[in-house]
Amino acid sequence: MNRIASFTVDHNKLAPGLYYSRRDGDVVTFDLRFKKPNTGDLLTNAEMHSAEHLIATLLRNSGDKEAVIYFGPMGCQTGFYFLFDNRLLSCEGAITLLQEVFTAAASFSGEMPGKSPAECGNYINLDLETGKAVCRFYAELIAGWTVEKLAY
């Protein structure tokens, strides 16, 4: 059985950042890593969930929303996957979009998107300030990111 590409990356050495994971036809997957190497520091459920609601909402309301296929958490809680249509958005454009939405999320005002029992099956652990803090960390981390830095 073939190993999937992300299992070939040494997670003990992988620094937080934004990485090009794979391309499947016109769909490109970016790997957004938050975990610090060798520390075991994972995002908590509340951190992941809160950041996910903010970023997914902002991506799907952006000028590039037609290119957005998916944004969601990794099961291992080390980050998120962002899938986009490369016919509609270049890798450079995707980096810029992520920089913009994480910066916007870090200063988001208003109600936490999707924080109700009707909108989310686990709305209880959503917290706006927690989500903003995670997004602020990542916005600062990827502020100067370039296509050349996308390699694992």
User: Which residue ranges make up each domain of the chain?
Assistant: 5-145
- 124's CB contacts (< 8 A; 6+ apart) are none
Q: Tell me the per-residue pLDDT of 53-108, one tens digit each, with 9 for 90 and over.
A: 999 999 999 999 999 999 999 888 889 999 999 999 999 999 999 999 999 999 99
- 25's CB contacts (< 8 A; 6+ apart) are none
How far apart are the C-alpha atoms of 28 and 150, rounded to whole Å?
Answer: 12
| Reported confidence tier of residue 38, pLDDT bands at 50, 70, 90 | low
How far apart are the C-alpha atoms of 123 and 83, rounded to whole Å?
Answer: 24
pTM of the full structure: 0.94
Angle between helices 128-142 and 91-106 (to 10 degrees): 140
pLDDT at res. 35: 81
- Residue 5, pLDDT > 90, answer no
Place of tokens 């990542």: 138
Is residue 119 within 8 Å of 63, Cβ to Cβ?
no
Residues paired with residue 84 on neighbouring β-strands, in sequence order: 28, 68
Share of the chain above pLDDT 90, in %: 78
Q: Name which of 10-24, 90-104, 110-124 the model is least confident about.
A: 10-24
- Residue 36, pLDDT > 70, answer no
Instruction: Name the class of domain 5-145.
Output: alpha beta
| Reported confidence tier of residue 3, pLDDT bands at 50, 70, 90 | confident
How far apart are the C-alpha atoms of 12 and 67, rounded to whole Å?
Answer: 32
Tokens describing residue 8: 């070939």
Q: Tell me the per-residue pLDDT of 135-144, one tens digit each, with 9 for 90 and over.
A: 999 999 999 9
